[in-house]
Amino acid sequence: MKDSLFAKLQPQKNYMQIARQIRNLIRDGTLMVGDKLPPERHLVAQFGASRASIREALSALEMLGLVECRSGHGNFIKADGSEGTIDGKMLQTLFQDHDPYEIFEARLEIEPPLAALAALRATTEERERLTAQVERLATLGRRIREEGFADPLIEGYMDEDRKYHLEIGRSAHNAVLFTVFSGVNLMMAETHWKAMKSKGLMKEGNLQAYEQEHGAIPAAILGKNPKLAQKELKNHIFKLRRKRDVVAAVAAAAKGKVPIIPGTAACSTREAILLSNDACEAGADFVIVTAPYYFKLPDSSLKAHHVTIARNVGCPVIVYNNPLYKGNPTSPALIAELLKEKNIVGVKQSSVDMGQLIEMIRLAPEGKSLCTGIDSQFYPALCAGASGVYSTAAGVLLISSNLDEVLGVADTLVVMYKGRVVANLANREQITKELIGEYMMGLREAGA
């Protein structure tokens, strides 16, 4: 049996090659209806591609009805080789489309300078047209919120959005830049871009954010403030992707060798779920969340917050208890309750009270990962049965290529390992890597 179902990619559009390979495996019967595709990190390794390319391919196959993406469960084959979508016209159209991420990059380079020029050069008539276009978008947005995400309304919103951006470009009075941007704007009407944009619109909170940003850009243009107009348009394109892009960049650099665990804490449960799912979609293997902060909450609310997140997020969750900075301590008894949730796989305990961690270890179900978040507790935590440490010192050791520099920054830095102080810094680096590897393996097993 072959080690992998998939072949290494050739120098073409990666997501198209991935989609074609999966399509061909469906067509020849290798992949059947109901089959689950490997996890994304395995697909990254097998295809030799980035997570972004994997996600684009899965998005395209989902549009075609060939794959079903089930949040928190994975990606499943939805059609067999006899389905018309396998070689249909839509598939050919899709493969001719431009890469949505390249469209995004082009917009980010071209549109903000156009907004700055529009702030300086737009005529009174152009300012009035832009204001009217903002109102049309706002009206459509209100209808979508009231009537639901019906296809005609979404299509209309995306068409008016393209016109809005064209109006800004036209107001810049630079024929060369406008010609280039007109071509990019036309690509925003392509099937794959519209499918991804539509999914973005339907995510809770995004429509309202778009509306606020659609108003902020013309306000800067009407105020004849080029720097602000450029900044607002750049934020509009980039804002909702910024955190995702950080996670995606780290995941691409890691190449599946170690798990990616971003923090996705938020004061509201709803926002934490949105941030967590964005991180999962961008390539996170786990997310780490805290209790809500600022307001003091009872245990029942803290439990509801974490459980609701765990049940609505597409990757495993780690609970981060940091009472000093969050003001809402999560007790050992509550931690034990939370760890009964299948999708909550571990705890990061950052409290000076070692007794709390020991009690959590005593009460926790088997197969869960409990770690200290305080370096000085590393060895006693291991003695008490902890899985490991989320180590700040380890981060310093691993990212620095200059050992003398590390010593200069942290003269008293000490790493404890198996009951002894490791005095040789080169050995510390090796041991730290070993410990992190052991801990990550434990996390993987807990999340399996």
Known catalytic residues? 320, 348
CA distances from 145 to 16, 132, 148, 150, 252 (A): 34, 20, 6, 10, 36
Instruction: Round to whole Å and give the CA distance between 197 and 218.
Output: 22
Instruction: Round to whole Å and give the CA distance between 94 and 88.
Output: 10
CB proximity list for 345: less than 8 A, separation 6 or greater: 286, 316, 317, 318, 368, 369, 443, 446, 447
357 in Cβ contact with 349 (< 8 Å): yes
- Strand 67-70 to strand 74-77: parallel, antiparallel, or no bridges (unpaired)? antiparallel
Instruction: Round to whole Å and give the CA distance between 249 and 244.
Output: 9
Helix pair angle (100-121, 51-63), 10° resolution: 100
Using only C-alpha atoms, the chain has a radius of gyration, in whole angstroms, of 25
SS3 for 325-346, per residue?
Answer: HHCCCCCHHHHHHHCCCCCEEE
Dihedral sign from CA coordinates of 389, 391, 397, 400: positive
